Amino acid sequence: MLHYGAGWRIFPHVQLCRGKGPCPGTVPSFIYSYFIMKKLLPVIVVLALAYSCTQKPVQKTYFADPFSYCKTVKELNEVVKFNNFSPIVASRNYTYANIAAYECIAAAYPSRYQSLAGQIKGLTSVPALDTTKPVDVEFSALLAFCKVGEAVTFPEGSMKDYVDSLKNLAQKAGMPDDMFDNSVAFSDTIAKAILSWSKKDNYLQTRSAPKYTVIDTPGRWVPTPPMYSSAIEPHWNEIRTIVLDSASQYKPTRPIPYNMTDKNGPYYKQVMLSKNVIDSLTDEQKHIAMFWNDLPNELHVSGHVQFITKKFSPPGHWMNIVGIASVKSKADFAKTVAAYTLTSICMFDAFIHCWDEKFRSNMVRPETVINKYIDPEWRPYLQTPPFPEYTCGHSTVSAAAAEALTKTYGDHFSYTDTSELEFGIPNRSFTSFRQASDENNLARFYGGIHFHPTCLVSTEYGKKVGDYIVDKLKLEKGSSTKSPASGSPVVAK
């Protein structure tokens, strides 16, 4: 209870009404008004709070959960899986889509992230964010990812249903109309800029380039069973790199020269090592090989019956690992996007680097050599993919991806990879991203599709590519091995 009395003696003519306060007319009007407001203020505050509880406040973002971005990348992963695109081409989709999302984030969080414009080849500028308008930049990032991921390679409409579901979520969550429209418009401007830039990477020109010429020369790659497919993307080294100076910036050491006549020579020994190991694989080695198989289209032949099973490719597998790391580290939305972006860029350039060597050396696969000289009925544990043996694509891009993730989340980052459960393959756990990369190295050897020295060289040079990129690119300002607290975007409130 409020008590007055003595406080009113400075106004000797004031009369107190039953001890509860001044009587009207006995105190100056402004003092009386003050008294009334003081009495009513608690009531006004309570009413205001009650009213506010019935109104949803306008938020900076309606998509703060970083898992929404992981789910969106996974959606593109599914589109890639069912549209028969090679791992090499798929890396292009992931990379450009992630860059589009990242540029939305960088525009909104300039104190935390730096635009890739001026850092990567050919991208000189991106549209600025109009900070006078309310924009949900996380929503924009999701939409930009989908638009670019779909349009880079796939027919229009591949992700339409998913995009519609995102828009419906935004509207059901109460996103104001002006914020919704501004967010869509901003995503469109970023997507348009990234798509325009992507069209200058020489991809379209390589679609009409000559196919690989099969020449039955000892030691030279030829198509392998059961599909006997022509070589995939023999001109991929002509694609514009994003960070590397050129496809040949890091030329791997020359492969062991082909020689099956000298049974004491290094080439013959590596052939026999492959055959003997694959003929006596342990269950653990088989699990390792299958876990990292990642062959997107595997042909199965049983008598006259043939069918194809589909999986995600190596870059799709590593996109899953980025999501697992993001969730475990409790990274915010912005850091999650940056992690996907850096990892996909490393894999993109690593593929170009690797394909430059594959079609320079044109080395034959173990299966071909063993069938011709040792055992015509021998088959590797995994199905041989359709391109030359040296160097190993999966080992190269895995090593590069591991460097990107180590840069982002730190070394000794333990995690369990659940990516293969959807294909009926049990999980595997790792103490670091580099350990996972090293295990993948063994997987290609256990699978019988690469010689062991090839895997070792591939990992070495994939790491060189990854190291170069993470050292040269500046995404997150300050330390990039520790997740910062979530910052506020520079947008109108």
Q: Looking at the DSSP assignment, which residues form a beta bridge with residue 246?
A: none
pLDDT exceeds cutoff 70 at 456: yes
Q: Which has more pLDDT, 184 or 33?
A: 184
pLDDT confidence band for 83 (50 / 70 / 90): confident
pLDDT exceeds cutoff 90 at 36: no
**Are both 435 and 320 inside the same structural domain?**
yes
**Are both 129 and 37 inside the same structural domain?**
no
Token pair 């392998």 is found at: 224
Mean pLDDT confidence for 16-38: 42
d(Cα 117, Cα 133) in Å, to the nearest integer?
Answer: 23
Q: In the prediction, which pLDDT does 27 show?
A: 41
Nearest 10 degrees: Cα torsion 279, 282, 288, 293: 30
pLDDT confidence band for 81 (50 / 70 / 90): confident
Neighbouring residues of 157: CB distance < 8 A, sequence distance ≥ 6: 150
Neighbouring residues of 330: CB distance < 8 A, sequence distance ≥ 6: 483
Q: Which of 234, 224, 215, 218 is nearest to 447 (CA)?
A: 224
Q: Considering the domain boundaries, does residue 244 fall inside one?
A: yes
Taking the CB of residue 301, how many other CB atoms lie within 10 A of it?
11
Q: In the prediction, which pLDDT does 186 show?
A: 98
Q: Which of 54-68, 77-91, 213-227, 372-386 has the lowest mean pLDDT?
A: 54-68
d(Cα 150, Cα 152) in Å, to the nearest integer?
Answer: 6
**DSSP H or E segment with residue 182:** helix 177-198
**Are both 362 and 262 inside the same structural domain?**
yes
Mean pLDDT confidence for 426-448: 97
Q: In the prediction, which pLDDT does 295 show?
A: 81
For residue 330, CA distances in Å to 66, 70, 72, 74, 128 come to 9, 12, 17, 18, 29
Q: Is 227 left (phi over 0), alpha (psi -120 to 50) or beta?
A: alpha
Token pair 């194809």 is found at: 308
* Mean pLDDT, all residues of the chain: 87
Q: Considering the domain boundaries, does residue 185 fall inside one?
A: yes
Task: Encode pLDDT of 312-350 as tens digits.
Answer: 889 999 999 999 999 999 999 999 999 999 999 999 999
Q: Considering the domain boundaries, does residue 216 fall inside one?
A: no
The domain boundary, picked from 150, 181, 203, lies at 203
pLDDT exceeds cutoff 80 at 18: no
The domain boundary, picked from 180, 203, 226, lies at 203
pLDDT exceeds cutoff 50 at 66: yes
Mean pLDDT confidence for 206-234: 94
Mean pLDDT confidence for 24-46: 40
Mean pLDDT confidence for 307-312: 69
Q: Count how many residues are written for the chain.
A: 493
**Are both 175 and 303 inside the same structural domain?**
no
Q: Considering the domain boundaries, does residue 211 fall inside one?
A: no
Q: Which of 23, 152, 158, 144 is nearest to 78 (CA)?
A: 158
**Are both 255 and 403 inside the same structural domain?**
yes
Q: In the prediction, which pLDDT does 484 show?
A: 34
**Are both 196 and 281 inside the same structural domain?**
no
**Are both 31 and 151 inside the same structural domain?**
no
What's the structural domain count of the chain? Answer: 3
Q: Considering the domain boundaries, does residue 210 fall inside one?
A: no
Taking the CB of residue 240, how many other CB atoms lie within 10 A of it?
18
pLDDT exceeds cutoff 50 at 55: no
Q: Considering the domain boundaries, does residue 484 fall inside one?
A: no
Assess contact for 255 and 369: CB atoms under 8 A. no
Q: Looking at the DSSP assignment, which residues form a beta bridge with residue 476?
A: 113
Range of the domain at 21: 5-53
Q: Which has more pLDDT, 336 or 42?
A: 336
Task: Encode pLDDT of 87-135 as tens digits.
Answer: 999 999 999 999 999 999 999 999 999 999 999 999 999 999 999 999 9
Q: Which of 43, 60, 39, 61 is nearest to 51 (CA)?
A: 43
**Are both 385 and 245 inside the same structural domain?**
yes
Mean pLDDT confidence for 446-451: 98
Task: Encode pLDDT of 229-254 as tens digits.
Answer: 999 999 999 999 999 999 999 999 99
Assess contact for 302 and 476: CB atoms under 8 A. no
302: amino acid identity, one letter = S
Q: In the prediction, which pLDDT does 19 show?
A: 45
pTM, two decimal places? 0.85
Burial of 443 (0-12, 13-18, 19+ CB in 10 A): buried
**Are both 73 and 33 inside the same structural domain?**
no
Assess contact for 235 and 209: CB atoms under 8 A. yes
**Are both 308 and 390 inside the same structural domain?**
yes
pLDDT exceeds cutoff 80 at 44: no
Q: Looking at the DSSP assignment, which residues form a beta bridge with residue 16?
A: 22
**Are both 351 and 298 inside the same structural domain?**
yes
SS3 call for 246: coil
Mean pLDDT confidence for 447-451: 98
pLDDT exceeds cutoff 90 at 51: no
Task: Encode pLDDT of 245-302 as tens digits.
Answer: 999 999 999 999 999 999 999 999 999 999 999 999 999 999 999 999 988 766 666 6
Q: Considering the domain boundaries, does residue 393 fall inside one?
A: yes
Percentage of the chain with pLDDT > 90?
76
Task: Encode pLDDT of 148-191 as tens digits.
Answer: 999 987 667 889 999 999 999 999 999 999 999 999 999 999 99
Query: Pairing relation of β-strands 305-310 and 297-302?
Result: antiparallel
Mean pLDDT confidence for 406-427: 96
**Are both 38 and 85 inside the same structural domain?**
no
Mean pLDDT confidence for 21-25: 48
Q: Considering the domain boundaries, does residue 480 fall inside one?
A: no
Q: In the prediction, which pLDDT does 154 show?
A: 67
Kindly provide the b/e burial profile for residues 93-121, where b requires at least 16 CB atoms within 10 angstroms of the residue's own CB. Answer: bbbbbbbbbbbbbbbbbeebbebbeeebe
What CATH number did the domain enclosing 431 receive? 1.10.606.20
